[in-house]
Homo-oligomer: A and B are copies of this chain.
Amino acid sequence: MDAEPEYQGPVVTVDSVLFQLIQNELYVLLTQRAYEPFLGEWALPGGYNHRGETTHEALAGVLGRKAGIEYRALPLTMQLYTFDNVARDPRGHTISVTYMSLAHKAVPAGSDTTQNPQFFPVSKLPKLAYDHKDIILYALQRLRSRISHTNAIFALMPEKFTLTQLQTAYEAVLGHKLDKRNFRKRWLALDVLAPTDELAKDGAHRPAALYRFKQRKLQTLDPTFA
């Protein structure tokens, strides 16, 4: 980091992998490219990081402008990886700093943007621009790992939820079923859930107790969930 007046660096971009559960399935937010390259193809929301703004600010701008989503309302965002695209990007040397966000209900405002933001199930992704498919799969891996030893799942859940909803969220992310009794035993032993005195009455069956997370922020939980 010497003094070096005529510095010229790569173009810096940020890309966002925004996950959300819709009907017990994991969805990811994509936008349709309005410019070359990859005009018309689906891609992760992304954009330039200009001098003077943090990557988080750039991310907030991208999500707001391209998908109508308010970044500050997202309960959890974490950095994933920084990719070099020296050769791959048709526009020349860029590096992209990628973030993963989790949301409970982030509604993309397709109307006031040009990029047609939509959620796609992770299991049925369309053809994607760049290497964005790999990025999504990498993000999924990281997400699975995160929910296995932290409370990160809170960011995919509503304020109040039943234990069955929580279990279903895990199953959607992990891609396999879990044992009901073991799951409940574990979570109730963890001391991170608080019972509310409300019940969810949603059908012709016994009502379920509603719980909430004591802390809606990331914390590490020792045990691991399969």
- Report A's interface with B, CB cutoff 8 A: 1-4, 7-13, 34-36, 46-56, 79, 81-82, 84, 86, 91-93, 95, 97
Contacts and interface: CB of A to CB of B under 8 A. Distances in A.
Nearest to A52: B93
B7 A9 contact: no
A86 to B, nearest CB: 5
Count the copies. 2
Given A1-B46, A95-B97, 19 more contacts: A1-B47, A3-B36, A4-B48, A7-B48, A7-B50, A8-B51, A9-B10, A9-B12, A9-B48, A10-B50, A12-B95, A51-B92, A51-B93, A52-B93, A53-B86, A54-B84, A55-B95, A56-B84, A79-B81
| Chain A, interface SS category | loop
Contacts of A86: 52-54
B13 A10 contact: no
Nearest to A10: B51
A11 B7 contact: yes
Contact of A10 (B12, B35, B47, B84): B12
Given A55-B84, A82-B55, A84-B55, A10 B48 contact: no
